[in-house]
């Protein structure tokens, strides 16, 4: 199978789409935590309880309200190989916790993978909607629609004063986590990032790395999300996040403009060096790959690099991860072998765009 064919089959369809402000905001995501009334939280579940939750979710997925939202496939994690579960983590469709504790878990995926529903993770259900670009409002509306459709068949654990009950107290209330994945190379290169992220933390938001909690920022990618779920309405949470993100977008645009004006040659040199390394290197580790891809995407967005798709960052963020590499090449690879194959895959991906331009 060619790389082009594999990309079409393996990457989520939404990764091939654009969205508002997508030169800076790669994705918008909303996740809702819900638990079934009268069933112990997953940490206290027996096998019987866990199976009961999965069966009830399977029934709800076949309800008329859910069928209107598209075709869903429910898969038990125990029926997936460790490699397949790792690929789903790299695509942000399930969490690392669900992948590692697969015995009781399951995931329901809509065909386009915009909607995924984790079952028996930290909570009975984690409803997730992910869209390209700055579309937090749209992601929230879709997640809320899924929530309502499931609630037509399921009864959520709810307290009149506290709101929706969750396994972790930090999610009690609305149970909503809204986040955006931002590409902020201008702020990093100009040395402004720490000051701005410190200010973000003062207004009820938190900043994490590519894979959320516990992951470090790499490739100038930052996940900005709400911390507070209790005491604010869902709309207030969305509005607060949106307002702060729009300010960060303005700061990033200003930083990019200032970098170009101050020393365009130095910026062009940085971008073109990274492109050259990606195009010709024979070994690439994950950390350097992310940094070089960040530079190249910045160059594409500023018009320094022509003939390369802006989608390359989203695609290769996933494609160059360890599990995806092994899935594509069809074999288990050592870290050293992955570095060699990663470089080969990147070269091949860049040639695809070159062939399209020449064609």
Of 8-17, 119-128, 212-221, the least confident: 212-221
80 is an annotated ligand-binding site residue:
no
DSSP 91-158: TTSS-HHHHHS-SS-EEEEETTSSEEEEESSSSSEEEEEEEESS-HHHHHHHHHHHHHHHHTT--B-E
Q: What is the pLDDT of residue 49?
A: 94
213 is an annotated ligand-binding site residue:
yes
Backbone angles phi, psi at 128, to 5 degrees: -125, 135
30 is an annotated ligand-binding site residue:
yes
- Asked if 34 contacts 124 with a C-beta cutoff of 8 angstroms, the reply is yes
Instruction: Tell me what the pLDDT averaged over the chain comes to.
Output: 89
Res. 311: pLDDT tops 90? no
Tokens of 88: 């789903």
164 is an annotated ligand-binding site residue:
no
211 is an annotated ligand-binding site residue:
yes
- H or E element, residue 48: helix 47-61
31 is an annotated ligand-binding site residue:
yes
Report the percentage of the chain scoring pLDDT > 90.
Answer: 68
Backbone φ/ψ region at 15: left (φ over 0), alpha (ψ -120 to 50), beta: alpha
224 is an annotated ligand-binding site residue:
no
Residue, of 204 and 141, whose pLDDT is higher: 141
29 is an annotated ligand-binding site residue:
yes
Q: What is the DSSP letter of 202?
A: T
66 is an annotated ligand-binding site residue:
no
- H or E element, residue 259: helix 234-280
Res. 216: pLDDT tops 70? no
Q: What is the pLDDT of residue 98?
A: 92
Q: What is the pLDDT of residue 312?
A: 82
Res. 310: pLDDT tops 90? no
209 is an annotated ligand-binding site residue:
yes
How far is residue 181's CA from residue 217's CA, in Å, rounded to a whole number?
11
Numbers of helices and strands, H then E, in the chain: 13, 10
92 is an annotated ligand-binding site residue:
yes
39 is an annotated ligand-binding site residue:
no
Of 252-256, 267-271, 285-289, 347-351, the least confident: 347-351
How far is residue 21's CA from residue 27's CA, in Å, rounded to a whole number?
10
Q: What is the pLDDT of residue 116?
A: 96
């Amino acid at each position: 199978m060619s790389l082009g064919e594999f990309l079409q089959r393996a990457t989520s369809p939404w990764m091939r789409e654009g969205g508002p402000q997508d030169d800076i905001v790669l994705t918008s995501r909303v996740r809702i935590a819900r638990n079934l009334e009268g069933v112990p939280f997953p940490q206290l579940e027996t096998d019987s309880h866990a199976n009961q939750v999965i069966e009830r979710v399977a029934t709800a997925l076949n309800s008329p309200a859910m069928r209107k939202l598209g075709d869903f496939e429910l898969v038990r994690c125990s029926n997936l190989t460790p490699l397949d579960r790792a690929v789903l983590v790299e695509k942000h469709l399930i969490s690392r916790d669900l992948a590692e504790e697969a015995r009781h878990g399951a995931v329901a995926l809509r065909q386009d993978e915009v909607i995924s529903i984790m079952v028996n993770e930290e909570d009975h259900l984690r409803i997730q909607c992910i869209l390209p670009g700055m579309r937090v409002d749209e992601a929230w509306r879709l997640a809320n629609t899924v929530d309502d459709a499931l609630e037509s068949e399921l009864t959520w654990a709810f307290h009149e004063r506290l709101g929706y009950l969750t396994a972790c107290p930090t999610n009690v209330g609305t149970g909503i986590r809204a986040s955006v994945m931002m590409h902020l190379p201008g702020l990093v290169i100009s040395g402004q990032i720490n000051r701005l992220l410190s200010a973000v933390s003062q207004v009820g938001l938190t900043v994490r790395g590519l894979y959320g909690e516990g992951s470090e920022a790499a490739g100038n990618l930052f996940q900005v999300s709400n911390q507070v779920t209790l005491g604010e309405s869902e709309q207030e949470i969305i509005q607060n996040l949106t307002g702060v993100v729009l300010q960060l977008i303005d700061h990033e645009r200003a930083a990019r403009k200032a970098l170009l004006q101050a020393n365009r040659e130095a910026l062009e040199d940085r971008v073109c060096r990274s492109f050259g390394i990606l195009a010709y290197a024979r070994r690439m580790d994950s950390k350097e790959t992310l940094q070089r891809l960040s530079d190249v995407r910045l160059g594409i967005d500023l018009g320094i690099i022509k003939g390369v798709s802006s989608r390359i960052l989203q695609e290769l963020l996933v494609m160059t991860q360890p599990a995806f590499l092994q899935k594509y090449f069809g074999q288990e690879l050592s870290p050293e072998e992955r570095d060699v194959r990663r470089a080969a895959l990147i070269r091949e991906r860049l040639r695809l765009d070159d062939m399209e331009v020449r064609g």
